Each structure stands twice: as C-alpha cells, then as structure tokens.
Chains A and B, each alone.
Chain A
Amino acid sequence: AQSVAQPEDQVNVAEGNPLTVKCTYSVSGNPYLFWYVQYPNRGLQFLLKYITGDNLVKGSYGFEAEFNKSQTSFHLKKPSALVSDSALYFCAVRGGHSWGKFQFGAGTQVVVTP
C-alpha cells in the first residue's frame, strides 16, 4: 500500500526566510510525487511534480522540491517566503500497486508573518 506523511501540522516562518515543508512517502516501485497548495475556500492548485530524472524539481511561484530516494522524502522548499505563501500545502504520491489513485498527506499549514 502506498502512503504519504507530512510530519508537521503547521510551519511558521518570517517573511524573507527560507521555507521548508516536509514530506515522506512509502510506495513499492517508482513513485510519482506531487505538491499542491490550497488557499481558503479554494480547490487545490498544482505546484510541481517529480516523475523521473533530476532530483531537484522547480515549480510555480518560486517553489522547488528535492526528491531523495534513500530517505523516501520529497520536501518542498522556497528560498525566501512571502506573506502570500500562507496556505495549506499537500504532498501526494501516485504509484506502486494503486495506479491511478492519488494518496494525499494530511496537509501542512504554512504561516508566514511579516
């Protein structure tokens, strides 16, 4: 069975500081990994994904994520956080024996203070 964990319910960061949102996964075979962001009363917006190739993936709004196979992690990062980055972030995995089915993490609330 595939699973994804986001160990932090909330991440607090000051504007201008680096932002990291953690994600670890468990899946047999090669995983497809995704990050989404959700603003209040909105659907999820796609940020970036890892399918294969370069372990560092660049996405929308200055976000990037690093795939680490040995640590089964896919942490989301942004070098300099903005107040407007305050939102709910979801990591998702697709793969293993559940092709077609996305498994989402519980979500991490990011709060960026001015």
Chain B
Amino acid sequence: KAGVTQTPRYLIKTRGQQVTLSCSPISGHRSVSWYQQTPGQGLQFLFEYFSETQRNKGNFPGRFSGRQFSNSRSEMNVSTLELGDSALYLCASSTTDDTDTQYFGPGTRLTVL
C-alpha cells in the first residue's frame, strides 16, 4: 500500500497570503488528522476529519481550516499568513478504529517571509 502523501513538500509564502496544503491518506483510511510542528511548541494538533466531517479540533485560530473530500483526501488552508505560521505541517491517516495507529506523511515545510 502506498503511504500517506502530502503536497507540496516545501512552500515559501509572504505574510498576508493564504496557502492550501493537500494530504492523500492510505487507501481505506477514512480519518485524517493535521498537526503543526515547530521547534518551540512541538507537535500540536490542528484538527481531524472523518467521513468529510470535522470530528476533533485543536486550539488554533479560525485562520486555520480544513476539509475532507468523499475520497478521504484532505486539504488544510491557512489564510492571512503570519511569520509564526512557519512550521512543518504533518498529516496522518488511520482507520475508523480508535485502537488503530496513525500513519504520518512526510510533511509540508511552510516558510512565511
């Protein structure tokens, strides 16, 4: 099975712009979660989508949003970028079972100038 894929792998944007990141989960996985990783804050949960519905949400401002499509692919959008949004954004997928493992993609490195 192919693993979790994320595109693009690297992205450079300027303050005030918006960005969309994409995640394709492992085939058969219906849950997709997004995380932000920074050196100072560590790994922080953004949100989780399951069957096109947001099931869980972390403590991030409304500038961070996401969605999931019927084929389980997911996108996250960050509007009005700030310098502090520079981070590695990780996507993870899993099945419906809460005992199941989350499998991570390689991440998208976002740099905001």
Chain A residues with CB under 8 Å of chain B are 32, 34, 36, 41-46, 49, 51, 90, 94-95, 98-104, 106-107
Contacts and interface: CB of A to CB of B under 8 A. Distances in A.
A94 B42 contact: no
A61 to B, nearest CB: 16
Contact of B98 (A42, A44, A90, A100): A100
B98 to A, nearest CB: 5
14 contacts: A36-B104, A41-B107, A41-B109, A42-B106, A43-B106, A44-B92, A45-B104, A46-B103, A51-B99, A95-B98, A101-B56, A102-B45, A104-B43, A107-B42
Given A43-B90, A94-B98, A100-B50, A106 B42 contact: yes
Nearest to A103: B45
Contact of B90 (A44, A99, A107): A44
B55 interface: yes
Q: Is the interface of B mostly helix, strand, loop or mixed?
A: strand
Contact of B31 (A36, A42, A43, A100): A100
A101 B43 contact: no
Interface residues of B, number: 23
Contacts of B31: 100
B56 A98 contact: yes
Contacts of A43: 4, 90, 104-107
The 6 closest A-B pairs by CB, nearest first: A43-B104, A44-B104, A101-B56, A104-B43, A43-B106, A106-B42
Given A44-B92, A102-B102, A107-B42, 7 more contacts: A41-B107, A41-B109, A46-B101, A101-B56, A104-B42, A104-B43, A107-B43
A80 to B, nearest CB: 26
Contact of B43 (A42, A49, A90): A90
B101 A34 contact: yes
A100 B56 CA distance: 7
A109 to B, nearest CB: 11
A107 B38 CA distance: 12
A87 B62 CA distance: 33
